[in-house]
């Protein structure tokens, strides 16, 4: 009896340790800058609207970080539902981006649609599957969702990113970037919401991230 109780307590403790509220949960960190780096806010998207990609104004960037220099490509602001999150601690990309968020907007916010999709992330990819007929046209799924690589620009953005959970509604404001390292390694953001497959993910230097009421 006592042994059974002890085993149950151990299982409960391990579950709590690795749960979203346990001490082992992934803590995002801000990308380490070289000197003082400012992350100005881009034009903001309207609530519940499609992502806003804006023209790059003069005088913004480059953002010089320890791991790579980020060349801004466009302003980016998105108000979306978190379909999934995945944390990374290995790989070249993790030196910049500790977390990917799969985000959905339009009908990819709706429970009736998402309940019929099996969504997962791994290897810096976002995948979805369904049984029978698709809940909405597949090309609409492509246009209304994306996997996004988050590069926190500051401690506030990193802390907010660490607390994001599947199902949250978030606002992310920052810059689509290309990362260039001294040894020739590069990582470039998609510039379209209509693409899929390799190179279709957004790479975002995140000035601000916050969870808002659904």
pLDDT tens digit sequence for 159-205: 999 999 999 999 999 999 999 999 999 999 999 999 999 999 999 99
Average pLDDT, the chain: 89
pLDDT of residue 188: 98
* Spatial CB neighbours of 66, under 8 Å, sequence gap ≥ 6: 31, 32, 33, 34, 95
The pTM of this model reads 0.86
Please determine, for residue 4, whether its predicted confidence score (pLDDT) is greater than 60.
no
pLDDT of residue 202: 98
Burial pattern 61-70, b for ≥16 Cβ within 10 A else e, equals bebebebbbb
Confidence class of residue 1 from pLDDT cuts 50, 70 and 90?
A: low
Cα 36 to Cα 32: distance, rounded to the nearest angstrom: 10
Number of Cβ atoms within 10 Å of the Cβ of 190:
18
Please determine, for residue 21, whether its predicted confidence score (pLDDT) is greater than 70.
no
Q: What residue segments make up the domains of the chain, in order of their start?
A: 2-212
Cα 151 to Cα 208: distance, rounded to the nearest angstrom: 11
Please determine, for residue 3, whether its predicted confidence score (pLDDT) is greater than 90.
no
Residues 32-53: what's their mean pLDDT?
91
Confidence class of residue 18 from pLDDT cuts 50, 70 and 90?
A: very low
Write the pLDDT tens digit of every residue in 57-71: 999 989 999 999 999
* Spatial CB neighbours of 111, under 8 Å, sequence gap ≥ 6: none
Beta strand ranges found along the chain (DSSP E): 52-54, 63-64, 69-87, 99-104, 118-122, 125-129, 145-152, 169-180, 186-188, 202-212
Write the pLDDT tens digit of every residue in 81-128: 999 999 999 899 999 999 999 999 999 999 999 999 999 999 999 999
Between vectors from CA 165 to CA 200 and to CA 122, what angle results, nearest 5°? 40
Question: Which one is predicted more confidently, 84 or 1?
Answer: 84
């Amino acid at each position: 009896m006592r042994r059974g109780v002890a085993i149950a307590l151990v299982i409960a403790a391990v579950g709590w340790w690795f749960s979203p509220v346990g001490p082992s949960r992934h803590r995002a960190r801000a990308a380490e800058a070289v000197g003082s780096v400012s992350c100005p806010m881009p034009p903001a998207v309207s609530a519940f609207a499609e992502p806003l990609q804006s023209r790059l104004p003069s005088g913004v960037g480059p953002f010089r970080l320890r791991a790579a220099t980020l060349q801004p490509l466009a302003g980016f602001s998105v108000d979306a539902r978190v379909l999934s999150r995945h944390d990374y601690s290995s790989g070249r990309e993790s030196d910049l981006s500790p977390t990917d968020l799969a985000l959905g907007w339009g009908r990819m916010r709706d429970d009736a649609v998402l309940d019929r999709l099996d969504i997962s992330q791994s290897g810096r990819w976002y995948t979805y599957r369904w049984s029978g007929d698709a809940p909405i046209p597949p090309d609409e799924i492509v246009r209304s969702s994306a996997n996004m690589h988050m590069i926190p620009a500051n401690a506030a953005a990193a802390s907010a990113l660490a607390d994001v959970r599947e199902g949250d509604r978030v606002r992310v404001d920052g810059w689509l970037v290309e990362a260039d390292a001294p040894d020739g390694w590069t990582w470039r953001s998609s510039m379209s919401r209509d693409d899929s497959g390799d190179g279709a993910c957004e790479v975002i230097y995140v000035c601000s991230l916050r969870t808002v009421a659904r």
